[in-house]
Chains A and B, each alone.
Chain A
C-alpha cells in the first residue's frame, strides 16, 4: 500500500468487526484480492491493498471505511483475532484544517482528494482564504467569457482554459483554491447533479486583473478510470460552453493547498495534466510580482504524454528562467524513451534534496491519483540519498504545512 506516503506511521485500511456483518461484498469487489476471511472475521492484507477503494461503496454497513495510523501494520492473523478495532493510539494528525463550514459532499470530495497525505495546515505565511461563500442552494452565477483549447487539435485529451466572469458578485479566491461547478440537469435518479471541483488556474487578482474573473483548466473526461468510454457530465458540459453561457458556481474551497507569501519562499511543484491549474495560478502570481523582487525560486516538474498534450505548453516556454525552472517529462514521444515526472525528479536530485531540507521551501503535488505513488517514491529515494530519513522528513514537512498533495 502507501508505505512511502505516511511517515513513521502508515495508514492502514481495516474492517471494523463491530459493524461488519460479513456479507462478503467487499471481498467480491476487491480486485487485488487483498480481502479475505475465515469463519468469523474479515481482514485486509496491508501489502496487497492498493487503496483503490472499490470496496467502500458496496459495503452496506460502513465497516470497511476504517483506518488506523500504525507503526507496524496489523497482520491478517491479528485482524482475524479481533473482537473490535484496536484503539487508535497514534498521535493526533497535524492540526486539522478541515473546514466545518463545508457542505458534506464537498468535505467528502476534499477529504478524498487529500486522503493519502491527510489534513495539512497551510504555509505559515499564506493569506487567509474565504471558504464556502456560495452553496448549491445559493450558488454564484458566473458568465463564460473565454473558452479555448490548450492541447493540440490532434491530442488525445481535450483540455480547456475557461474564464469565468463574476460581474458584481464577490468571489475572492487565492492560488491553490478550487471552485465548485453545478452542472445543469439531473442525474440517473432524477436528482440535481452533485458538485464537481475545479482548481483555480488564475492568481488572486483574477485572470485579468481588476476584472473580477478567474480561470479554470478543464479536461474533457471521455473514459472512466479503467479506460472504458464514458461521457463525464460536468467536464463535457464545461468544455462545450460558449461565451455568454452561465455557470452556477459554489465555493470557494480549500484552506490548505495555499502558497506562502513571505519573501524568499521557494516552491517545488509537481503536476500532470490539469494538476497544472494551481501551479499556473501560483507561478502567475509570482510573475506579476517579479518587479517586487521578492525572490524565492520555483522548480516545476510537469508531465504529459507529448508536448501537444501539455496544457499551457506555449506560455510556459515563454516564462523567464529567473522565475521558474521547468523540467518537462514526456511519456509518449515517438523515438524517445518514456519519461515520467519521477524520472526528472531523480535527475534533479541535488536541487530536490536541497529544497526538501530548506525551511523556506514548500512542496505542491497535484494531478491524477495514478502519479502519486511514483512521485512519492522518487522523493523518498532522493531524500534518503541525501542522508535524510524520509519518513521523518515527510512527517515534519506536513506538520509545518510544507507538503501538499491533492489528487483526483
Chain B
C-alpha cells in the first residue's frame, strides 16, 4: 500500500507497468506545472511550507508532515486499496461485482461525471490564488497551501481516470481541464459557484466550510460508484477533503471568537462600533453565510432530475452513505418529499425517490452545515453575545431548479420582486461589506501573530506549538 515515489509521478497504481499510460501522464505533467505556476498561489516563491504529504495510503502513512519547498509537492495518483469482493450496492446492477473497466453503455455518462468533478478542483485553486498576499497568519498561509496542493492532487486523481480509462477522449478532456479558467468569459469553469471570486479570507473560510462540503457530498456519492477506480479515488480524496472543511469551520469559528471577545469586552453590539475595533461584525458574517450557502446549494442541480436518476440506476453515483441506508436501493417505488413554490407559498409534495436524488443529497448536506452552524453559535454563546447565525432557507437566492424564478427571503417567505430589491442588501453582502472586509486584509507572517479579526487556533497543525514557523521564507 505504499506509494512509489521513485517514479516521476508518485502513485500506488503501478504506473510503471503501463508505459503508454505513463508516457501520456508524463506529457500532461509539464502542462499541469505550467498551470500551477500561472494559476496557483500568487507570489509563490520556493518557500519551505510545513505540509502533509501521503507516503502510503494506510493510516500510518498518509499524513506525513514535513517542510516542502514549493512547488516540489509530490502530486500523485493515490487510490485506497481495493476492497475484496466489493459489489455494486444500488441501481439495476445491484449485487453484481464492481466494474474495473468502464462499461461501454455508460462511457460518456461516466466521463461527464468525472470531468465535472475534475473541473471543480483546479477552479478553487484559481479562485483562491490571491489569498496568500493577505494571509492572517503563517498558520493560515500554510493551510491555504495545504488546501491548494490537495485540490491540485484531486485534479490529478480525475485526470488519471480520464487517461487510464477513456483513451483519446479522456486525454482531450484532461487538456480542457487545464484550459478552462475560473471566471473567464470565454472559457469558464463548468459550474457557476466555481466562477465566483474568493477575494478575501472570510470568503475563503465560507468557501471551504460550505463549497468544499459540497465536494465532500459529491465525492461521498461517487465513492459509492460501481466503477471501482472512481470509488477508490474518491475515498482517498475524502480523507484529504476533511482538512479543507476543518480550515473553513475553524476559520469562521476563530473569527467569531475574536468578534465575540471584542463585543463582550467593550460591551458593544452596534456593527459600526464593532467594525471600529478591527473585527468583523456579526450581521456581515451572516450575509456572507447567506451568499455562500445559497450559491453552493445550486451546485447540487435541479430538485427533480432525470440525469441523477440515470446515474443512480446505472450504478455510477450513489447516495450519501448508500451502504448504510436501510431501503431497497432501487428507489423506483419509493417517494421523497420535495419543496416547490406555488403562488406565494412554498409547499411540500412527494416525488419519485429516483428523480429526487439531487434534492436528497442537498438535504443531507444542509443537515451537516446546520451542525457546523450550531457549533459556531456555541462559540458565540460562550463568548457572551446573544447574536446567533442561521442558515438561510434552502429556497433563498437560488438560480437553479424549482426556486430559480421565485424570490424567497432567508426565513423561507416568498416575497415580491420589489421587496427583494429593497431588502436584498440586508440579506446579501454589499459593496460596503466587501470594502470593509478588504480593508482588514493585511498580511501577518510573524510566527505566533494573528490579524486583528481572527483568534489563534486552539491547536497547531500536527500538534506543533502556537509560534511554529509553518512557512519559512528563505
Contact = CB atoms under 8 A, between A and B. Distances in A.
Interface string B39-73: 00000000000010101001110111011110011
Contact of A60 (B10, B66, B243, B464): B243
Given A188-B3, A191-B68, A228-B1, A21 B245 contact: yes
B62 A188 contact: no
A19 interface: yes
B371 A39 contact: yes
B459 A58 contact: no
Contacts of B67: 191
B374 interface: yes
B378 interface: yes
Interface stretch (A23-31, A313-321, A361-369): A23-31
B372 interface: yes
A39 B374 CA distance: 12
B20 to A, nearest CB: 26
A228 B243 CA distance: 28
A188 B64 contact: yes
Contacts of B463: 62, 65, 108
Q: Which of B60, B216, B250, B464 lies at the interface centre, i.e. has the most chain A CB atoms within 10 A of its CB?
A: B60
B59 A54 contact: yes
B55 A40 contact: no
Given A39-B371, A57-B63, A61-B459, A190 B249 contact: no
Interface string A39-72: 1100000000000001101101110010000000
A354 to B, nearest CB: 41
B245 A58 contact: no
Q: Which of A60, A65, A226 lies at the interface centre, i.e. has the most chain B CB atoms within 10 A of its CB?
A: A60
Given A18-B458, A190-B72, 16 more contacts: A21-B242, A22-B368, A22-B371, A25-B238, A28-B239, A29-B59, A57-B60, A57-B62, A61-B250, A62-B463, A108-B463, A187-B64, A189-B53, A190-B68, A191-B67, A194-B66
Nearest to B74: A189
Contacts, number: 86
Give the size category of B's interface with A.
Answer: 35 or more
Contacts of B242: 21, 23-25, 58, 60
A230 interface: yes
Contacts of B368: 22
Contacts of B66: 187, 189, 191, 194
A65 B239 CA distance: 17
Q: Which of B69, B368, B458, B464 lies at the interface centre, i.e. has the most chain A CB atoms within 10 A of its CB?
A: B458
A60 B454 CA distance: 20
A83 B63 contact: no
Nearest to B209: A21
A297 to B, nearest CB: 40
A111 to B, nearest CB: 10
A21 B64 contact: no
Contacts of A28: 239
Contacts of B239: 25, 28, 58
B2 A230 contact: yes
A60 B244 CA distance: 8
B371 A188 contact: no
B448 to A, nearest CB: 16
A19 to B, nearest CB: 6
Q: Which of A39, A61, A65, A189 lies at the interface centre, i.e. has the most chain B CB atoms within 10 A of its CB?
A: A189
Contacts of A189: 51, 53, 55, 64, 66, 68, 73-74
A187 B250 contact: no
Contacts of A65: 463
Interface of B: 1-3, 5, 10, 51, 53, 55, 58-60, 62-64, 66-69, 72-74, 216, 238-239, 241-243, 245-246, 249-250, 367-368, 371-372, 374-375, 378, 458-459, 462-464
Given A21-B245, A21-B246, A55 B372 contact: no
Interface string A214-226: 0000000000111
Nearest to A25: B242
Interface in A57-113: 57-58, 60-62, 65, 83, 104, 108
A280 to B, nearest CB: 29
A352 B59 CA distance: 39
A19 B458 contact: yes
B349 to A, nearest CB: 26
A187 B249 CA distance: 32
Nearest to B72: A190
Given A40-B371, A58-B63, A190 B74 contact: yes
A63 to B, nearest CB: 8
Nearest to A61: B246
B365 to A, nearest CB: 13
B219 to A, nearest CB: 12
Contact of A21 (B10, B59, B69, B250): B250
B378 A83 contact: yes
27 contacts: A19-B250, A19-B458, A21-B242, A21-B245, A21-B246, A24-B242, A28-B239, A40-B371, A40-B374, A57-B63, A58-B62, A58-B63, A58-B239, A60-B243, A61-B250, A62-B459, A62-B463, A108-B463, A188-B3, A188-B53, A188-B55, A189-B73, A189-B74, A190-B72, A191-B68, A194-B66, A230-B2
A242 to B, nearest CB: 24
Interface in A192-244: 194, 224-226, 228, 230
Given A21-B246, A60-B243, A188 B372 contact: no
Contacts of A224: 58, 60
Nearest to A190: B72
A194 B65 CA distance: 11
Contacts of B68: 189-191
Contacts of B55: 187-189
Contacts of A58: 59, 62-63, 239, 242
A196 to B, nearest CB: 15
Contacts of B245: 21, 23, 60
Contacts of B462: 62
Given A190-B69, A190-B74, A57 B458 contact: no
Contacts of B250: 19, 21, 61
Q: Which of B58, B69, B216 lies at the interface centre, i.e. has the most chain A CB atoms within 10 A of its CB?
A: B58
A328 B316 CA distance: 58
A246 B391 CA distance: 63
B381 to A, nearest CB: 10
Contacts of B372: 21
A307 B64 CA distance: 38
Contacts of B238: 25
Interface string A127-156: 000000000000000000000000000000
A61 B372 CA distance: 14
Contacts of A230: 2
A18 B53 CA distance: 26
Contacts of A22: 368, 371
Contact of A54 (B60, B72, B216, B367): B60
B181 to A, nearest CB: 29
A55 B53 contact: no
Nearest to B61: A57
| 3 residue pairs, one from A and one from B, having the closest CB atoms | A23-B242, A60-B243, A54-B59
